[in-house]
Structure 1
Amino acid sequence: MHGYSRLGGAARSPPSSPRFRHGRSKNSSWGSSKESNSMEKLVFILMSAVFRRRGLLLFAPLLYISGMLLYMGSFSFDVVSIKNGVVLVHKRAPPGSVYRSPQVFENLWPFMEAEAANANNGTVKTLMKAWTRKELTEWRPCANRSISETELPKSNGFLIIEANGGLNQQRLSICDAVAVAGLLNATLLIPIFHLNSVWRDSSNFGDIFDENFFIQSLGNHVHVVRELPDDILQRFDNNISNIVNLRVKGWSSSAHYLQKVLPQLLQMGAVRIAPFSNRLAQAAPSKIQGLRCFANFDALRFSKPIRTLAESMVDRMIKYSSQSGGKYVSVHLRFEEDMVAFSCCEYDGGEEEKHEMDIARERSWRGKFRRKHKIIKPGVNRVDGRCPLTPLEVCSYRFLCFLCWVF
């Protein structure tokens, strides 16, 4: 049964065709479709023009960047060679990524011999100019010795640090410890030397440096003691290891020490920071920076046995440097196993060298260089100038400096 229809008739009319369901007539629908096609063509033409222009604008900088990368040698291409009828494909290394100093030195050696011969004959004095002091290059002290406390205030507690690394890192740690002790108004315990896994040197502070001179020099700047008082030791069961070890991040600011370390020092009377290598930022207040500088150039002095040996070596160098009027050059090569291993650089030792460096890295840093996110790229390190100089490179560099080459 159907409802009432104003069109009359009882029969239900069939549904309209989908093509004409929304239009009133065939002609009107065709006209709408024609207009739609025209609009689509117009939009297509406009979009094509825009994309063509944008493609050109995008292609130009990409072409420029690609050209620069190719020019700078950032991409390496395969070099194909034929040997005994077999095609060999070699990967061309980017410029500066491979150790080739022996070849460079071989080409430089004739010039070095000629320069030395001419200098000995007196015809050319280029090498002798190396001893001439240039203007505005004299050394100036960084610490003002006149600035000192007439009377040091009461100490806030005791600071114990453990100097780790090699001798140079330990020296830097001592200077930073003096600066931090001055910042916190703390009494510094003579720094403890951590036994290095590479050098395995069991020397303590007094074996390397003049302990009495260190304490006396800092007398008007920072309190320094050889041992902790009995009451402090008893508080920690006579064991320094029981003193809380504050894990301070590398290159921490002065504000960090005042906000985080000082409250602990006031509360417990003694704090320990181990390891202490590079634990103070380079940027520091001028007074604290002055303490660091004073410790380095005034308070630290080698022990008597080391000074005696050094004086003997200097006298010998002056004696056997007659051709230069007793003048000589002292160079610390610093080409050591731990430095080479840490740099992740490759030289000319081949697979044997790689194997030895892998063992050295594992022995000293225990898996640090085997982590998933750690990607070792020796070629990139060399291009970036992060590889320690070999003795051969140091000699070549010094010779070029004598010839007034600019780097």
Structure 2
Amino acid sequence: MADAKLSNGGLHSHNRAPSKEIRRRSLLLIRATSATRLLLLLLALHMSCTIFRFAIPLYLSPDRRFLPCTMAGNPALHSQGEAAPSKSKRGMASLVHKKEREETEEGGEKDDGGEFWRQPDGLGFRPCLNFSEEYRRSSRRMMEVGGGEEATMRRRFLMVVVSGGLNQQRNQIVDAVVIARILEAALVIPILQVNAIWGDESEFADIFDEVRFKKELKDDVRVVSSLPPNFLTARPSADSIRQFDIDEQWILSHFLGRMKRNRVLLLRGLDSRLSKDLGPDLQKLRCKVAFSALQFRPAIQAVGNALAARMAEKGPYLALHLRLEKDVWVRTGCLPGLGAEADRVIHQERTRKPRLLTSRIDMLPHQRYLAGLCPLRATEIVRLLKALGASASTRIYLAGGQPFGGEEAVRPLLSEFPKLYNKTSLAMAGEIEQFEHQPSVMAALDYIVCLKSQVFMANHGGNMQRAMQGHRAYLGHRKHITPQKKGLVQLFMGNYTSTTDEQEVHDVIRKMHEDSVGAPSNRTDRKGRDVIAYPVPECMCR
């Protein structure tokens, strides 16, 4: 018993002596267990993100906080606040990388270049705006002041109201300069009509560099900020141009007499009214306005340049104008292919606003699709890009608005090309918030980043596509992919998809696009081509 007591007493005495050490070890064990649990939780989140193909394991929100997966809660944007057709209500901001996160990635794969980045042969063409001697003499005559009386041009004023989105406005401003030149009138800085869809109340100087605009055109058309004081009470002769394909003689016969009488002419409805086949000097003037005079104001240009520089930090990038917005599906008469509910929403909107359907109203959606008149869907964009040589490491800048259907609409693209960015994901805190209520300025940022990309592709035609095509050609025929949609649709719906090796499909697609990557194309080869999209031969020579 004594021995036992000694043993027990010795045991208890031993346990009491190191009690602090036991507590320390217990605390370390508890901490290790908590850390292990946290690690397992993060691993589970990562696996769930991977399984569901979300954009990135951790999402850096616009206010620079990390949130699990893409659960940032940004709603997908739909016109008139309508719910998304899919269950997902997250916006595009949750699908693209934040710039800061990529910079923390170790050993990130770089795009290895190759065939996809190969530029077309420009055939030695370069910008050259060599106006004729007659044009230059006329310019001197219009600009000179003599005899104590202002020259003709200073006594006539053209005012114009331009409408639509950014690139529609650009086109109309170009044509307004040309009309002012034909009428030998001074051009008052164009009035931008409030956009009915976006509610953008921006004025000319909010978007464009007014000082540069005047300076670049000083030898062509006198540009003034407003009417002189003695004209402010004058009632201008107002008109809307309803006829298409009007030329110099039509303009002179319809407006010159009225301008001489009233001295101030106010025009509306310039969109796509002026002939695409004007004389060589007026075509050159169009190029001068579009590619040199009409630049964005410095603050916008600086932000756009910064976004483009961040895209280019790790090599070349593709700019993709997605064109999957709701209004695109409504206007084209096509269906988004996201299920019956999405199709119903588009059909109802088109029925409610039949004027939005732009052309060929007698064609059914499926007929339009087979004719290549619809935007490519995300799965089709993926197949096209992969066939042309894009890889999973290709960095892609997404231009344009929110796709109809949100995350669901672009998930196939994100799955194959995870390095997707847009202006929101590239911008630093406070950089673009100043422009949030100016959709035209946000579109201008897209324009700048797209123009500076190594490769550009518009998923569907339109004003942005034509502007990019011509501007990139003017800067040296930078690669511009034009999807051959009719051929692609027939290929994807044919036997190739089930009986032919995928590599053979890629070979067919590459062959199909050999002449659709931005090589020089003569405008005069086909009547009605716009010199803003095809600057050869009037605006480029070799």
TM-score normalized with structure 2 length = 0.46
- Please list, as runs of the form range in 1=range in 2, the aligned pairs for 1:126-205 lying within 5 A after superposition: 128-137=114-123, 140-141=126-127, 143-144=129-130, 148=136, 149-150=139-140, 152-153=142-143, 154-155=152-153, 157-205=156-204
1:223 aligns with 2:222: yes
1:273 aligns with 2:273: no
Question: Counterpart of 1:282?
Answer: 276
* Residue 151 of structure 1, CA deviation: 5.1
In the alignment, the residues of structure 2 paired with residue 374 and residue 131 of structure 1 have an alpha-carbon distance, to the nearest angstrom, of 39
Residue 187 of structure 2: SS of its match in structure 1? strand
Residues 356 and 245 of structure 1, relative CA distance in 2, 3 Å threshold: farther
Question: Counterpart of 2:40?
Answer: none
In the alignment, the residues of structure 2 paired with residue 375 and residue 360 of structure 1 have an alpha-carbon distance, to the nearest angstrom, of 17
Residue 406 of structure 1: SS of its match in structure 2? helix
Residues 164 and 138 of structure 1, relative CA distance in 2, 3 Å threshold: farther
Taking only the aligned residue pairs, the percentage that are identical comes to 28
In structure 2, give the amino acid aligned to 1:329: L
Q: Structure 2 regions of 5+ residues with no counterpart?
A: 1-108, 144-151, 390-505, 513-542
- Out of 357, 377, 387, the residue aligned to residue 400 of structure 1 is 387
* Residue 392 of structure 1, CA deviation: 4.5
In structure 1, give the amino acid aligned to 2:115: K
Q: Is the Cα contact below 8 Å between 1:318 and 1:328 reproduced in 2? A: yes
In structure 2, give the amino acid aligned to 1:383: L
In structure 1, give the amino acid aligned to 2:127: P
Question: Counterpart of 1:259?
Answer: 253
Cα shift readout 1:184-235 (whole Å, capped 9, x = no counterpart) = 1111111111222222211111111111111111011111111112222212
1:378 aligns with 2:365: yes
In structure 2, give the amino acid aligned to 1:267: R
- Please list, as runs of the form range in 1=range in 2, the aligned pairs for 1:2-401 lying within 5 A after superposition: 128-137=114-123, 140-141=126-127, 143-144=129-130, 148=136, 149-150=139-140, 152-153=142-143, 154-155=152-153, 157-236=156-235, 243-319=237-313, 321=314, 326-358=315-347, 360-361=349-350, 366-368=353-355, 374-401=361-388
Q: Which runs of 4+ in 1 moved over 6 A?
A: none
Q: Is the Cα contact below 8 Å between 1:142 and 1:293 reproduced in 2? A: no
* Residue 180 of structure 1, CA deviation: 1.3
In structure 2, give the amino acid aligned to 1:337: K
Cα shift readout 1:241-273 (whole Å, capped 9, x = no counterpart) = x64223342332222112112222222212222
Q: Which range moved further: 386-395 or 186-195? A: 386-395
Cα shift readout 1:143-178 (whole Å, capped 9, x = no counterpart) = 337975345342162212222111111111111111
Residues 270 and 359 of structure 1, relative CA distance in 2, 3 Å threshold: farther
Residues 356 and 131 of structure 1, relative CA distance in 2, 3 Å threshold: same
Q: Is the Cα contact below 8 Å between 2:187 and 2:224 reproduced in 1? A: yes
Residue 142 of structure 2: SS of its match in structure 1? coil
In the alignment, the residues of structure 2 paired with residue 174 and residue 390 of structure 1 have an alpha-carbon distance, to the nearest angstrom, of 33
Q: Structure 1 regions of 5+ residues with no counterpart?
A: 1-119, 237-241
In structure 2, give the amino acid aligned to 1:406: K
In structure 1, give the amino acid aligned to 2:142: L
* Residue 374 of structure 1, CA deviation: 4.6
Q: Is the Cα contact below 8 Å between 1:187 and 1:222 reproduced in 2? A: yes
Q: Is the Cα contact below 8 Å between 1:184 and 1:258 reproduced in 2? A: yes
* Residue 353 of structure 1, CA deviation: 2.9
Residue 315 of structure 1: SS of its match in structure 2? helix
Which structure is richer in relative contact order (CA contacts within 8 A, separation 6 or more)?
2
Question: Counterpart of 1:66?
Answer: none
In the alignment, the residues of structure 2 paired with residue 369 and residue 198 of structure 1 have an alpha-carbon distance, to the nearest angstrom, of 12
In structure 1, give the amino acid aligned to 2:316: K
* Residue 134 of structure 1, CA deviation: 4.1
In the alignment, the residues of structure 2 paired with residue 142 and residue 382 of structure 1 have an alpha-carbon distance, to the nearest angstrom, of 40
In the alignment, the residues of structure 2 paired with residue 218 and residue 289 of structure 1 have an alpha-carbon distance, to the nearest angstrom, of 14
Matched length: 271
In the alignment, the residues of structure 2 paired with residue 137 and residue 198 of structure 1 have an alpha-carbon distance, to the nearest angstrom, of 42
Residue 235 of structure 1: SS of its match in structure 2? coil
In structure 1, give the amino acid aligned to 2:118: T
Question: Counterpart of 1:20?
Answer: none
In the alignment, the residues of structure 2 paired with residue 348 and residue 340 of structure 1 have an alpha-carbon distance, to the nearest angstrom, of 10
Residues 358 and 400 of structure 1, relative CA distance in 2, 3 Å threshold: same
Residues 385 and 221 of structure 1, relative CA distance in 2, 3 Å threshold: same
Residues 243 and 255 of structure 1, relative CA distance in 2, 3 Å threshold: closer
* Residue 306 of structure 1, CA deviation: 1.2
In structure 2, give the amino acid aligned to 1:220: D
Residues 334 and 261 of structure 1, relative CA distance in 2, 3 Å threshold: farther
In structure 2, give the amino acid aligned to 1:187: A
Residues 158 and 316 of structure 1, relative CA distance in 2, 3 Å threshold: same
Residue 375 of structure 2: SS of its match in structure 1? coil
